Amino acid sequence: MAGEDTHYQDLERSNELHDSTFSNGHAHSPVAVNGEDTPFVHKVGIPPRTTILRGFEDTLKETFFPDDSLRQLKNEPRRLKLLLALKYIFPIFEWGSKYKLKTFQGDLVSGLTIASLCIPQDIAYAELANLPPVYGLYCSFVPPLVYSFLGSSRDIAIGPVAVVSILLGTLLRNEVDPKEDAELYLKLAITSTFFTGVFQAGLGLLRLGFIIDFLSHAAIVGFMAGAAVTIGLQQLKGFFGITNFTTKTDFISVMRSVWRNTDQWNWHTIVIGLFFLSYLLIAKYISKKKPRLFLVAATAPLISVMLATAFVKVTRADKHGVQVVGIL
């Protein structure tokens, strides 16, 4: 016991020497105690005491305001606070004053590139939702326009997506047949998208984006993989030119519908589909091998639509069972 007390006393002396050394701004090697080098024992600071209410308040602040967006408003005049809050809500006032012609040139090229992809893509999304193609174009134009005033990211894609289009079309088709009552179907689609927007706006105002953190990576990957398979299966209807296609989206029902309606297969549609599918894959391969030719893949969807439209118009393929979008 006496030896242990002596050892602890030596440690305390070494700690005192360590504290005094660093308080003077100097650092030395470990202190020799009883002929042995004893390492410094660093003390861990005890966090300040706080009340339960204060801890709960800090947790809420960290959860809902991790970026501390209100920090810039502290100790500022009322007029400047209003201006900063306006820039926070409408970021266009922040970057708009710094916008230059050189930036516009880059935005123009990227805008034309994205437009060449979005036009045929959003027409297809409208088809997945059982809506007229013009509504797909509306959805590709209006959301980015609004986001330019309210958004702060230059890289995010705004507009319809295939998964949402399929979900909307499947859910509404369970209530109303779009072929029998197209007007009611359209009203339900507009109403559902409106309340979806209100719900999303509410989540944003309440800062509830952290809820997505509770979704596991496996669930997200599984959902995306299943959505990709579903989207691919839904394209078989247009690829083979089948008119009486199943309204279900599972693999077995879709494949059963494809093979039970072989008498509806249209070889004109299949040939056109194979040709432009090959063109899209080749364009993607070229852009992957030579990144400088990225415009080849970016403009391939729009070029496909233009060439297919011209081909059907010249050959009158629509008279031979090839389905067309019609007048937009």
Query: Tens of pLDDT along 30-70?
Result: 545 455 555 556 677 777 777 888 877 777 777 776 666 66
DSSP for 179-239 reads TT-HHHHHHHHHHHHHHHHHHHHHHHHTT-GGGGGGS-HHHHHHHHHHHHHHHHHHHHHHH
Q: Pick from 34, 139, 147: which is nearest to 91 by CA?
A: 147
Rounded to whole angstroms, the Cα distance separating 210 from 207 reads 8
Rounded to whole angstroms, the Cα distance separating 280 from 286 reads 10
When pLDDT is cut at 50, 70 and 90, the band that residue 312 belongs to is: confident
The answer to whether 92 touches 152, Cβ cutoff 8 Å, is no
When pLDDT is cut at 50, 70 and 90, the band that residue 213 belongs to is: confident
What's this model's pTM, rounded to 2 decimal places? 0.66
When pLDDT is cut at 50, 70 and 90, the band that residue 194 belongs to is: very high
Whether residue 19 has pLDDT greater than 80: no
Rounded to whole angstroms, the Cα distance separating 227 from 222 reads 8
When pLDDT is cut at 50, 70 and 90, the band that residue 212 belongs to is: confident
Residues in the chain: 328
E strand spans, the chain: 31-33, 36-38
The answer to whether 233 touches 249, Cβ cutoff 8 Å, is yes
* pLDDT tens digit sequence for 278-302: 999 999 899 888 888 887 887 888 8
DSSP label at residue 49: P
User: Given the DSSP bridges, would you call strands 31-33 and 36-38 parallel, antiparallel or unpaired?
Assistant: antiparallel
State residue 38's pLDDT score. 55
**Rounded to the nearest 5°, which phi and psi values hold at 264?**
-95, -5
- Cβ count within 10 A of residue 53: 8
What residue segments make up the domains of the chain, in order of their start? 2-38, 52-89, 105-214
